[in-house]
């Protein structure tokens, strides 16, 4: 599975769902592809950190169909989690950049696929 399969003209062309409970997070056309190397804690506790390079960028938190925010983590960052089952972090938001909410492309489920296959 590659990010490009879900991207057309740099825009998301698939639905993005929670990898755990399938709650809808983003609708098609609501996000743009964003490439930046950012470290994100792994979903498993004590799993260390992972460098994520491909993200879905949204400039307004109300664009999300469903999203949760964890309490401030290191450096004042906020982690984006599933609003229903609270799995995360699925993305990150830096309050110093109010128009930047990013979801890790490798941590979400696309469309209505039943099986989550982590990269």
Distance, in Å, from the CA atom of 33 to the CA atom of 7, rounded to the nearest integer, reads 7
Candidates 66, 85, 94, 116; binder of Zn ion (CB under 5 A) is 85
Residue nearer to Zn ion on the CB measure, 36 or 86: 86
Interface of this chain with Zn ion, residues 34 to 73, rule: CB under 5 A: none
**Structure tokens that stand for 79 in this block:** 């982690």
CA separation for the pair 26, 37 (Å, rounded):
22
Which of 12, 57, 82, 103 touches Zn ion by CB under 5 A? 82
Site for Zn ion in 2-41 (CB under 5 A): 18, 20-21, 23
Q: What phi and psi values does residue 94 have, to the nearest 5 degrees?
A: -100, 115
């Amino acid at each position: 599975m590659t990010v490009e399969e879900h991207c057309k003209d740099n825009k998301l062309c698939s639905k993005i769902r929670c990898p755990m409970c399938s709650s809808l997070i983003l609708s098609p056309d609501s996000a743009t592809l964003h490439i930046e190397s950012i470290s994100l804690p792994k979903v498993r506790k004590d799993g260390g950190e992972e460098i994520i390079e491909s993200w879905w960028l949204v400039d307004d938190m109300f664009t999300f169909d469903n999203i949760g925010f964890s309490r401030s983590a290191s450096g004042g960052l906020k982690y984006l989690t599933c609003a229903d089952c609270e799995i995360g972090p699925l993305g990150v938001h830096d309050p110093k950049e109010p128009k930047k909410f990013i979801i890790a492309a490798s941590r979400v489920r696309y469309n209505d696929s039943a099986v989550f296959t982590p990269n």
